[in-house]
Amino acid sequence: MPTLQSLAAVHSTTVLDRTELAPGVLLLGVHAPNLVHVTRPGQFVMVIPPHGERAAVALGIYEASGDRASIMFFVAGPRTAELATLRPGDPLDLTGPLGNGFDLSANVGTVAIVAGGVGIASVLLPAQALVAAGAAVHLYYGARTLELLVDKDKFAENGVALHCATDDGSYGHRGYVTGLLENAVPKPDLILACGPSPMLRATARVAEKLNVPAQLSLEETFACGVGGCWGCTVPLDRRSAQAPNFPGADAGGSEIVNARICKEGPVFWAHELRWQ
């Protein structure tokens, strides 16, 4: 997966719309034409909580069309709680687009997108791009309850086939979404996934079993979010095209190198990760 040059900038946006998709799950549309024009599917932004007292928070770019981009977030702690107080007309600064995004360059027939919880916020753009390119796109979407399967109808409206799983069985398959992926018909040519780490690890295992290449968008708590602090690393095969180049590391060095999730990622090929 090539590491692409970032076109990130700080964008001073204005909130256009605010929707509560479920209790504690917000969708904010912002006026951000310059961000929309350079965003690739799977990239994220560092959003600056408006009171100026807290660090920026990483959020996926959910929609990007015309002059409007949107972010979707689950209120998890103080920064997302602060963002939840925003209303249309309020200013909001964000830095982006950041990270590499998904590699959609291959011509594939069937793609399985696996999303768990907040992971759904990073997979609408790749789904739209793949449908536009003529792929058959299947979304395997898992959440705790039906209420938390937020915005699933938007994917259906965009020509995506839905396969849902809930922990409590209130909708679709009862259990993990990777249980559905395991029995995917037709077998996908490519898997993309975004969600909690246990789901990503399970997706990697299923992909290996099915012998299908998988790209995983990893979760991490970011400090800077722009590659400066090396506080978000993951072990990666040194031969990966995404591996950072450390001069002099060739001679007898380890075959594993640390890659920054915020900079070289957040999307990595599953078979190139060297998770412990």
Ligand X SMILES: Cc1cc2nc3c(=O)[nH]c(=O)nc-3n(C[C@H](O)[C@H](O)[C@H](O)COP(=O)(O)OP(=O)(O)OC[C@H]3O[C@@H](n4cnc5c(N)ncnc54)[C@H](O)[C@@H]3O)c2cc1C
Binding to ligand FES, residues 217-256 (CB under 6 A): 222-225, 227-232
* Total residues interacting with ligand X, rule: CB under 6 A: 21
| Binding of ligand FES by 55 (CB under 6 A) | no
- Residue 88 or 228: which CB sits closer to ligand FES? 228
Give, in order, the Cα–Cα distances in Å from 48 to each of 171, 187, 257.
35, 41, 31
Q: How far is the CB of 128 from ligand FES (least distance, A)?
A: 27
- Short-list 20, 19, 8, 81, CA closest to 50: 81
| Binding of ligand X by 142 (CB under 6 A) | no
- Residue 58 or 143: which CB sits closer to ligand X? 58
| Binding of ligand X by 63 (CB under 6 A) | no
| Binding of ligand FES by 198 (CB under 6 A) | no
- The gap between the terminal CA atoms of the chain, to the nearest Å, is 22
68-100 b/e (C-beta count within 10 Å ≥ 16 → b): bbbbbbbeeeebbebbbebeeeeebbbbbbbbb
- Residue 7 or 224: which CB sits closer to ligand FES? 224
Strands (E), the chain: 9-22, 25-31, 44-47, 57-60, 63-65, 68-74, 91-98, 110-116, 136-143, 161-166, 173-174, 190-194, 214-217, 233-237, 256-260, 267-269
Contacted entry of ligand FES, ligand X, none for residue 260, CB cut-off 5 to 8 Å set by kind: ligand FES
Binding to ligand X, residues 19-58 (CB under 6 A): 44, 57-58
Positions in the binding site for ligand FES (CB under 6 A) = 222-225, 227-232, 260, 262-263
Positions in the binding site for ligand X (CB under 6 A) = 44, 57-60, 72-74, 76-80, 118, 121-122, 219-222, 266
